[in-house]
Amino acid sequence: MHRYPVMKESDLPPGSRKLVHVAGVEIGLFNVAGKVHAYRNVCPHGGAPVCLGKITGTTLPSRVYEYDYGLDGCILRCPWHGWEFDLRTGEHLVDPATRLKKIPVESGGDAAASLENLERFPVESEGGLLCVVLPGGKAGGPS
């Protein structure tokens, strides 16, 4: 496992999304109401760049002919087929067994990793760092 610092926490305010390339892997980072989630940018259904989809809400389970909109900012709709994923869990709303590949994301980052990998970052001294954790591999910064 290795921790890769990818951006400053302040670069991903609530409601925003960033795409990063780390060790050959495309990863989408999403800040949903203050909590950061990271997913591989591959839809488990058809291989689409799912993280480029619309961040939206949806109609909640309701009675027939009633429309109850909610989960605003929690739903990622895949740009190819429109499958809805709950950004908080990565689960497809229809079939929760189908889920986005979750990438562990940590804030803070350790100083050693930061020193080693952040040369390509326009890092400022203040503010925490967001790190994604990928299996194996050597340390490396965003490509």
Partner 1 sequence: MLENTPAITARPGLIDTDVHNAFANVREELRPYLSRAWQAYADYHGILMPGTGYNSSVGVQREDARTPSGAMAGSDPDFMITDHLDRFGIDFAILTGSHVLGISVHTDPDWGNAVATAYNRNLAERWLGRSPRFRGSIVVNHSDPEAAAREIRRCAPDKRFVQVLMASGSSRLFGQRFFHPIFEAASEYNLPVAVHPGTEGAGTAGAPTPAGRPTRYFEWHNIVPLNFMGHINSLVCEGAFEKFPQLRFVAVEGGLAWLPQLMWRMDKNYKALRSEVPWLRKLPSQYIRDHVFVTTQPVEEPEKSSHFLQILEMINAPGNIMYSSDYPHWDFDNPRMTLQFLPKEWKQRIFHDNAAALYGLAARSA
Residues that bind partner 1 (CB under 8 A): 45, 58-68, 81-84, 92-95
In the complex, minimum distance from the CB of residue 87 to partner 1, in angstroms, rounded to a whole number: 15
Closer residue to partner 1 (CB): 68 or 110: 68
In the complex, minimum distance from the CB of residue 35 to partner 1, in angstroms, rounded to a whole number: 23
Residue 78, amino acid: C
Closer residue to partner 1 (CB): 94 or 111: 94
Distance of alpha carbon 40 from alpha carbon 61, whole angstroms: 28
Closer residue to partner 1 (CB): 80 or 121: 80
Distance of alpha carbon 99 from alpha carbon 89, whole angstroms: 8
Distance of alpha carbon 131 from alpha carbon 113, whole angstroms: 9
Closer residue to partner 1 (CB): 84 or 103: 84
In the complex, minimum distance from the CB of residue 68 to partner 1, in angstroms, rounded to a whole number: 7
Distance of alpha carbon 5 from alpha carbon 7, whole angstroms: 6
Question: Can you name the residues that pair with 133 across neighbouring β-strands?
Answer: 3
> β-strands 105-108, 25-32: how paired?
unpaired
